[in-house]
Homo-oligomer: A and B are copies of this chain.
Amino acid sequence: MQLVQSISLMQRRARLWAQAGIGVGLVPTMGYLHEGHLSLVRRARRTLGTKGKVVVSIYVNPTQFSPTEDFSRYPRDLKRDMKLCRDAGVDAVFAPRDQEMYPNQPCGAFSTYVAEEMLSKGMEGSSRPTHFRGVTTVVAKLFNIVQPRVAVFGAKDFQQAAIVRRMVRDLNFPLKIIVAPTYREPDGLAMSSRNRYLRGDLRQQALALWHAIKRARAVTAQNSKPVPASRLKAQLKTMIESQPSARLDYVEFFEPETLNRSEKVTRGTHMALAVFVGKTRLIDNGRL
Protein backbone atom coordinates (compact mmCIF):
# COMPACT_ATOMS: atom_id res chain seq x y z
CA MET A 1 0.00 0.00 0.00
CA GLN A 2 1.23 3.44 -0.86
CA LEU A 3 0.87 6.86 0.74
CA VAL A 4 0.38 9.52 -1.95
CA GLN A 5 0.58 13.14 -0.84
CA SER A 6 1.02 14.88 -4.18
CA ILE A 7 -1.94 15.69 -6.41
CA SER A 8 0.00 15.33 -9.64
CA LEU A 9 1.38 11.94 -8.61
CA MET A 10 -2.12 10.70 -7.76
CA GLN A 11 -3.36 11.94 -11.15
CA ARG A 12 -0.53 10.20 -13.01
CA ARG A 13 -1.36 6.96 -11.21
CA ALA A 14 -5.06 7.41 -12.05
CA ARG A 15 -4.22 7.86 -15.73
CA LEU A 16 -2.11 4.69 -15.77
CA TRP A 17 -4.90 2.73 -14.09
CA ALA A 18 -7.41 4.08 -16.63
CA GLN A 19 -5.14 3.04 -19.50
CA ALA A 20 -4.86 -0.43 -18.01
CA GLY A 21 -8.66 -0.65 -17.73
CA ILE A 22 -8.39 -0.97 -13.92
CA GLY A 23 -11.44 0.25 -12.00
CA VAL A 24 -10.81 2.59 -9.07
CA GLY A 25 -12.95 2.94 -5.97
CA LEU A 26 -12.65 6.01 -3.73
CA VAL A 27 -13.58 6.22 -0.06
CA PRO A 28 -13.31 9.90 0.92
CA THR A 29 -12.67 10.40 4.65
CA MET A 30 -11.37 12.96 7.10
CA GLY A 31 -9.25 10.25 8.73
CA TYR A 32 -9.23 9.09 12.33
CA LEU A 33 -10.72 5.95 10.87
CA HIS A 34 -13.16 3.65 12.64
CA GLU A 35 -15.12 0.52 11.76
CA GLY A 36 -17.65 2.63 9.86
CA HIS A 37 -14.97 3.79 7.43
CA LEU A 38 -13.61 0.26 7.11
CA SER A 39 -17.07 -1.01 6.19
CA LEU A 40 -16.99 1.51 3.28
CA VAL A 41 -13.60 0.13 2.23
CA ARG A 42 -14.99 -3.41 2.23
CA ARG A 43 -17.95 -2.22 0.18
CA ALA A 44 -15.63 -0.62 -2.37
CA ARG A 45 -13.58 -3.82 -2.60
CA ARG A 46 -16.69 -5.97 -3.05
CA THR A 47 -17.88 -3.71 -5.88
CA LEU A 48 -14.53 -3.56 -7.70
CA GLY A 49 -13.25 -7.12 -7.19
CA THR A 50 -9.66 -8.05 -6.47
CA LYS A 51 -8.34 -6.47 -9.69
CA GLY A 52 -9.67 -3.02 -8.80
CA LYS A 53 -7.80 -0.39 -6.80
CA VAL A 54 -9.29 0.96 -3.58
CA VAL A 55 -8.12 4.47 -2.67
CA VAL A 56 -8.90 6.03 0.72
CA SER A 57 -8.50 9.80 0.85
CA ILE A 58 -7.68 11.27 4.25
CA TYR A 59 -8.10 15.01 4.40
CA VAL A 60 -9.60 17.25 7.07
CA ASN A 61 -11.11 19.74 4.65
CA PRO A 62 -10.98 23.28 6.02
CA THR A 63 -13.66 24.70 3.69
CA GLN A 64 -16.42 22.57 5.22
CA PHE A 65 -15.81 23.94 8.73
CA SER A 66 -17.03 27.35 9.83
CA PRO A 67 -14.66 29.50 11.91
CA THR A 68 -16.50 28.52 15.12
CA GLU A 69 -16.28 24.77 14.46
CA ASP A 70 -13.77 22.12 15.44
CA PHE A 71 -11.40 22.18 12.44
CA SER A 72 -8.20 22.67 14.40
CA ARG A 73 -9.02 20.13 17.12
CA TYR A 74 -10.57 17.56 14.78
CA PRO A 75 -8.75 14.28 15.67
CA ARG A 76 -5.90 13.26 13.36
CA ASP A 77 -3.68 10.15 13.45
CA LEU A 78 -2.26 9.35 10.02
CA LYS A 79 0.04 6.61 11.27
CA ARG A 80 -2.81 4.68 12.87
CA ASP A 81 -5.03 5.31 9.80
CA MET A 82 -2.29 3.93 7.53
CA LYS A 83 -2.11 0.72 9.53
CA LEU A 84 -5.89 0.28 9.47
CA CYS A 85 -5.94 0.84 5.70
CA ARG A 86 -3.09 -1.60 5.11
CA ASP A 87 -4.84 -4.27 7.16
CA ALA A 88 -8.08 -3.63 5.24
CA GLY A 89 -6.39 -4.21 1.87
CA VAL A 90 -6.47 -0.60 0.66
CA ASP A 91 -4.22 0.00 -2.37
CA ALA A 92 -3.39 3.68 -1.81
CA VAL A 93 -4.00 6.38 0.78
CA PHE A 94 -4.25 9.87 -0.69
CA ALA A 95 -3.47 12.43 2.02
CA PRO A 96 -2.75 15.83 0.48
CA ARG A 97 -1.56 18.96 2.27
CA ASP A 98 -3.67 22.12 2.63
CA GLN A 99 -1.34 24.27 0.54
CA GLU A 100 -1.72 21.92 -2.41
CA MET A 101 -5.49 21.58 -2.08
CA TYR A 102 -6.17 25.30 -1.56
CA PRO A 103 -3.24 27.20 -3.11
CA ASN A 104 -2.53 30.84 -2.37
CA GLN A 105 0.15 31.21 -4.98
CA PRO A 106 1.07 31.75 -7.74
CA CYS A 107 -1.38 33.87 -9.71
CA GLY A 108 -4.03 34.40 -7.07
CA ALA A 109 -5.67 32.45 -4.26
CA PHE A 110 -8.13 29.59 -4.55
CA SER A 111 -11.45 30.99 -5.79
CA THR A 112 -13.61 28.27 -7.38
CA TYR A 113 -16.42 26.52 -5.54
CA VAL A 114 -19.00 23.88 -6.39
CA ALA A 115 -22.36 24.43 -4.75
CA GLU A 116 -25.57 22.44 -4.75
CA GLU A 117 -28.42 24.85 -4.15
CA MET A 118 -31.58 22.84 -3.39
CA LEU A 119 -30.89 19.80 -1.19
CA SER A 120 -28.32 21.86 0.73
CA LYS A 121 -30.82 24.32 2.14
CA GLY A 122 -32.37 22.45 5.07
CA MET A 123 -31.09 20.51 8.09
CA GLU A 124 -27.26 20.52 8.13
CA GLY A 125 -27.23 23.29 5.51
CA SER A 126 -29.44 25.43 7.66
CA SER A 127 -27.36 24.85 10.83
CA ARG A 128 -24.02 25.05 8.98
CA PRO A 129 -24.55 27.48 6.05
CA THR A 130 -21.20 27.07 4.25
CA HIS A 131 -20.67 23.40 5.12
CA PHE A 132 -22.00 21.69 1.99
CA ARG A 133 -20.30 24.12 -0.37
CA GLY A 134 -17.05 22.99 1.22
CA VAL A 135 -18.05 19.35 0.89
CA THR A 136 -19.07 19.50 -2.77
CA THR A 137 -15.96 21.51 -3.63
CA VAL A 138 -13.53 19.09 -2.01
CA VAL A 139 -15.36 16.03 -3.31
CA ALA A 140 -15.27 17.44 -6.86
CA LYS A 141 -11.54 17.96 -6.41
CA LEU A 142 -11.04 14.41 -5.11
CA PHE A 143 -13.01 13.01 -8.04
CA ASN A 144 -10.78 14.90 -10.48
CA ILE A 145 -7.64 13.78 -8.69
CA VAL A 146 -8.43 10.10 -8.09
CA GLN A 147 -10.78 9.63 -11.08
CA PRO A 148 -12.72 6.78 -9.50
CA ARG A 149 -15.32 4.61 -11.19
CA VAL A 150 -17.21 4.31 -7.90
CA ALA A 151 -17.13 6.36 -4.70
CA VAL A 152 -18.53 5.07 -1.41
CA PHE A 153 -20.16 7.35 1.16
CA GLY A 154 -21.69 6.47 4.51
CA ALA A 155 -25.42 6.75 5.14
CA LYS A 156 -24.72 8.42 8.50
CA ASP A 157 -24.21 11.64 6.51
CA PHE A 158 -27.46 11.09 4.66
CA GLN A 159 -27.97 14.63 3.37
CA GLN A 160 -24.33 14.81 2.27
CA ALA A 161 -24.71 11.59 0.29
CA ALA A 162 -27.86 12.93 -1.41
CA ILE A 163 -26.08 16.18 -2.31
CA VAL A 164 -23.00 14.40 -3.68
CA ARG A 165 -25.24 12.14 -5.75
CA ARG A 166 -27.02 15.20 -7.14
CA MET A 167 -23.68 16.87 -7.90
CA VAL A 168 -22.50 13.78 -9.77
CA ARG A 169 -25.67 13.75 -11.85
CA ASP A 170 -25.71 17.50 -12.52
CA LEU A 171 -22.01 17.87 -13.37
CA ASN A 172 -21.83 14.49 -15.18
CA PHE A 173 -18.94 13.03 -13.20
CA PRO A 174 -18.29 9.68 -14.90
CA LEU A 175 -18.73 7.57 -11.77
CA LYS A 176 -21.29 5.88 -9.54
CA ILE A 177 -22.05 6.82 -5.94
CA ILE A 178 -22.66 3.99 -3.47
CA VAL A 179 -24.20 4.78 -0.09
CA ALA A 180 -23.35 2.15 2.53
CA PRO A 181 -25.32 1.64 5.77
CA THR A 182 -24.53 3.48 8.99
CA TYR A 183 -22.21 1.44 11.19
CA ARG A 184 -23.20 1.44 14.87
CA GLU A 185 -21.63 0.59 18.20
CA PRO A 186 -23.26 -2.43 19.89
CA ASP A 187 -25.52 -0.09 21.90
CA GLY A 188 -26.67 1.78 18.77
CA LEU A 189 -24.52 4.93 18.74
CA ALA A 190 -23.60 5.74 15.14
CA MET A 191 -19.83 5.52 14.67
CA SER A 192 -18.17 8.90 14.23
CA SER A 193 -14.68 10.27 14.71
CA ARG A 194 -16.28 12.93 16.89
CA ASN A 195 -17.41 10.27 19.41
CA ARG A 196 -13.94 10.53 20.90
CA TYR A 197 -14.95 13.97 22.25
CA LEU A 198 -17.55 12.25 24.49
CA ARG A 199 -15.91 12.07 27.89
CA GLY A 200 -17.39 10.39 30.97
CA ASP A 201 -21.16 10.37 31.16
CA LEU A 202 -21.59 12.12 27.78
CA ARG A 203 -21.00 8.85 25.91
CA GLN A 204 -24.14 7.42 27.53
CA GLN A 205 -26.16 10.59 26.93
CA ALA A 206 -25.20 10.45 23.22
CA LEU A 207 -27.51 7.44 22.88
CA ALA A 208 -30.35 9.98 22.87
CA LEU A 209 -30.06 10.21 19.05
CA TRP A 210 -30.48 6.49 18.47
CA HIS A 211 -33.22 6.23 21.07
CA ALA A 212 -35.08 9.06 19.33
CA ILE A 213 -34.94 7.20 16.01
CA LYS A 214 -36.20 4.02 17.67
CA ARG A 215 -38.98 5.94 19.41
CA ALA A 216 -40.08 7.50 16.10
CA ARG A 217 -40.08 4.06 14.50
CA ALA A 218 -42.25 2.71 17.28
CA VAL A 219 -44.68 5.63 17.00
CA THR A 220 -45.12 5.22 13.22
CA ALA A 221 -45.42 1.44 13.59
CA GLN A 222 -48.15 1.81 16.21
CA ASN A 223 -50.20 4.37 14.28
CA SER A 224 -52.16 3.24 11.28
CA LYS A 225 -52.69 6.92 10.37
CA PRO A 226 -49.89 9.38 9.52
CA VAL A 227 -48.53 11.25 12.55
CA PRO A 228 -48.20 15.06 12.37
CA ALA A 229 -44.48 15.89 12.17
CA SER A 230 -44.83 18.81 14.58
CA ARG A 231 -46.28 16.58 17.33
CA LEU A 232 -43.59 13.94 16.90
CA LYS A 233 -40.85 16.60 16.87
CA ALA A 234 -42.08 18.00 20.18
CA GLN A 235 -42.14 14.53 21.77
CA LEU A 236 -38.64 13.71 20.57
CA LYS A 237 -37.28 17.07 21.73
CA THR A 238 -38.62 16.45 25.23
CA MET A 239 -37.22 12.95 25.27
CA ILE A 240 -33.75 14.01 24.00
CA GLU A 241 -33.46 16.99 26.30
CA SER A 242 -34.33 14.89 29.34
CA GLN A 243 -30.61 14.05 29.12
CA PRO A 244 -28.95 16.83 31.15
CA SER A 245 -26.24 17.70 28.57
CA ALA A 246 -28.25 17.12 25.38
CA ARG A 247 -29.73 19.97 23.33
CA LEU A 248 -31.65 19.31 20.11
CA ASP A 249 -30.38 21.32 17.12
CA TYR A 250 -33.02 19.99 14.70
CA VAL A 251 -35.07 16.93 13.91
CA GLU A 252 -36.67 16.65 10.46
CA PHE A 253 -38.86 14.20 8.58
CA PHE A 254 -38.56 14.03 4.79
CA GLU A 255 -38.78 12.00 1.60
CA PRO A 256 -35.46 10.18 1.21
CA GLU A 257 -35.03 10.87 -2.54
CA THR A 258 -35.87 14.56 -2.72
CA LEU A 259 -35.30 15.54 0.94
CA ASN A 260 -38.68 17.30 0.68
CA ARG A 261 -40.04 17.87 4.17
CA SER A 262 -42.93 15.63 5.28
CA GLU A 263 -45.64 17.23 7.40
CA LYS A 264 -47.16 13.77 7.97
CA VAL A 265 -44.90 10.98 9.17
CA THR A 266 -45.53 7.37 8.13
CA ARG A 267 -43.50 4.20 7.67
CA GLY A 268 -40.94 4.89 4.94
CA THR A 269 -40.53 8.54 5.90
CA HIS A 270 -36.89 9.36 6.65
CA MET A 271 -35.82 11.08 9.87
CA ALA A 272 -32.61 13.01 10.56
CA LEU A 273 -31.48 14.86 13.65
CA ALA A 274 -28.58 16.81 15.11
CA VAL A 275 -27.98 17.04 18.85
CA PHE A 276 -25.39 18.85 20.91
CA VAL A 277 -24.12 16.51 23.63
CA GLY A 278 -22.07 18.80 25.80
CA LYS A 279 -20.11 20.80 23.19
CA THR A 280 -20.07 17.94 20.69
CA ARG A 281 -22.52 18.10 17.82
CA LEU A 282 -23.67 14.64 16.67
CA ILE A 283 -25.95 13.64 13.79
CA ASP A 284 -27.88 10.51 12.95
CA ASN A 285 -30.73 9.42 10.68
CA GLY A 286 -32.84 6.47 9.71
CA ARG A 287 -35.80 5.25 7.73
CA LEU A 288 -38.94 4.91 9.83
**Using a CB–CB distance below 8 Å, which chain A residues touch chain B?**
7, 11, 14-15, 18-21, 103, 107-119, 136-137, 140-141, 144-145, 147, 166-167, 169-174, 257-258
Contacts and interface: CB of A to CB of B under 8 A. Distances in A.
| Copies of this chain in its oligomeric complex | 2
Contacts of A258: 107-108
Contacts of A169: 103
The 9 closest A-B pairs by CB, nearest first: A112-B170, A111-B118, A144-B172, A18-B18, A112-B116, A112-B167, A111-B117, A141-B172, A11-B174
Main secondary structure of the interface of A (DSSP, over half): mixed
20 contacts: A11-B172, A14-B174, A15-B18, A15-B174, A107-B166, A107-B258, A108-B257, A111-B170, A112-B114, A112-B116, A112-B117, A112-B166, A112-B167, A112-B170, A113-B114, A113-B117, A115-B115, A137-B171, A141-B171, A144-B171
Contacts of A15: 18, 174
A7 B173 CA distance: 11
Contacts of A111: 116-119, 166, 170
A166 B102 CA distance: 12
User: Which of A20, A118, A145, A171 has the most chain B CB atoms closer than 10 A to its own CB?
Assistant: A171
Contacts of A147: 174
A119 B108 contact: yes
A169 B19 CA distance: 23
Nearest to A147: B174
Contacts of A116: 111-112
Contacts of A257: 107-108
Nearest to A172: B144
User: Which of A107, A112, A117, A145 has the most chain B CB atoms closer than 10 A to its own CB?
Assistant: A112
B113 A115 contact: yes
A172 to B, nearest CB: 4
Contacts of A103: 169-170
Contacts of A107: 166, 257-258
